[in-house]
Amino acid sequence: MATLNEMKTNFNPTLKIGLSHERITSDGGLILYKEAAQKIGYFQSLHNTLHIQDNRNFHEHSYPSVVEQLVFQHLAGYHRDHAAKHLVDDPTFTLVTEKDYLASQPTLSRTYGVLTSENIDQSNDFLLQASIDVHQRLDQQQITIDVDSTYFQTYGNQEKSAFNVHYKTTGFHPLLAFDCMTGMCLRAVNRSGEQYTSKGAEDMVTDIIEGYLNKLPHMDILVRGDSGFAIPSLYKTCEAKQVHYVIRLKANAKLHSMAEEISPAPSPSSEHGEVHYDEFDYQASSWDRPRRVVVRYERQANELLFTHTFIVTGLTSEPKMIFRLYKKRGEMELFIKEAKNDFGCKYTSSHDFTANCARMMIALIAYNLHIAAKNLFFTAALKSFRMGTFRSLVIKIGAKLTKSGRYLHLKLSKSFVYQEEFFKTLRLIQT
């Protein structure tokens, strides 16, 4: 076959490099996601939930098909719209989208602009439905709802972009909730940059709890958050729903005073650090009643005094166990990092705020498809990979598409290192 843009190399004058007209792809591993999505009805459920109004008189690509294309582009690491120019007839992408050619960059950009605030809410409903579906398939009886905020840096005059004092940058300040057990994203709300951390947290947590209890009434639910979510309305919501919570408190003079009253005596030797735990009932002025607070006393080596950390909780476990449980909250930071860096939900290239919310939601829909497939089908070896590693080792497979009689053949490179795990996973999906 003829090649395009052919160039010689300096290290080997007999070697020429060029682009081929043949149907070759570098994303052969996307087939796993298509097969997994088909098995669990992922896109069917999405299209039953996300209703995009289409007032066009003529179109070549329906909005649902464009959303699917965007999901697969995120999975493959193509987070910018202009990537569609090069993927227009890519063999893997045309297979997984079931189209002869892909939607163009202008079509992708227009689709973001068409999505409304109602569509954003529908997308959130779908994220929650997808997580509940994974729990049902895994027959899990527990969920830990981790709530946190992050930042999306913006450039230029974007709607609702504002300076955030905590992050010391200009952008958006989204609120997110993940399930610690599976890593699924439960809900996401984009907000202007200056919004306080807990803004909207009570409504978000309420929606998640009610969604789970409606489908899985016996689910054991725990809500976990840092001191930014230490608000009485959140405690009361959890208590009203009979849900456990573990939330760090901001230290104040009264808490320190109460901790000092029951403080353990420091070890005579200051060469080694020490940690102790205790508890007491505490009622802040804004609380309707006293609540259990557990405290950790920590003294670093060669220090004289203890530092205090406080957690308010509805659990009855030993204070040390409460702190161990809270410490696991750090896993959510990895989920957020993966969603932002490996799925591109941080990219906010539209001027319109709702369009940027849509960009975030579609990236998270792609994220949840990956996490669902990971929990339900991946082999143990593949489950150990973060998305960046998984993409480079399993998705980025060179392959050639051919046709023979009634069949299409996607021939993967024989030097594909993880071919055994790939085909094991494919068989697990089809079981």
Selection from 43, 87, 4 nearest residue 373 by Cα: 43
User: How is the chain split into domains, by residue range?
Assistant: 22-237+322-431
pLDDT confidence of residue 301: 80
Sorted by sequence, the CB contacts under 8 Å of residue 163 that are 6+ apart come out as 169, 170, 193, 194
pLDDT confidence of residue 20: 73
| Strand (E) or helix (H) holding 89 | none
pLDDT confidence of residue 168: 87
CA–CA separation, 328 vs 314, rounded Å?
A: 17
CA–CA separation, 75 vs 363, rounded Å?
A: 9
CA–CA separation, 227 vs 151, rounded Å?
A: 17
Sorted by sequence, the CB contacts under 8 Å of residue 70 that are 6+ apart come out as 108, 111, 362, 366
Helix (H, G, I), strand (E, B) or coil at 401: strand
Helix (H, G, I), strand (E, B) or coil at 312: strand
Whether the pTM exceeds 0.75: the reply is yes
Match 């669990």 to its residue by tokens. 40
pLDDT confidence of residue 270: 65
Residues of the chain with pLDDT under 70: 1-4, 268-270
Which token pair is 388? 């960046």
Contacts for 198-201: CB closer than 8 Å, 24+ residues apart: 198/228, 198/229, 198/230, 198/231, 198/234, 199/175, 200/175, 201/147, 201/175, 201/225, 201/229, 201/231, 201/234
Sorted by sequence, the CB contacts under 8 Å of residue 91 that are 6+ apart come out as 23, 24, 25, 399, 400, 401, 410
Q: In whole angstroms, how far apart are CA 129 and each of 59, 206, 208, 332, 364?
A: 30, 15, 10, 20, 13
pLDDT confidence of residue 1: 45
Sorted by sequence, the CB contacts under 8 Å of residue 115 that are 6+ apart come out as 52, 354, 355, 357, 358
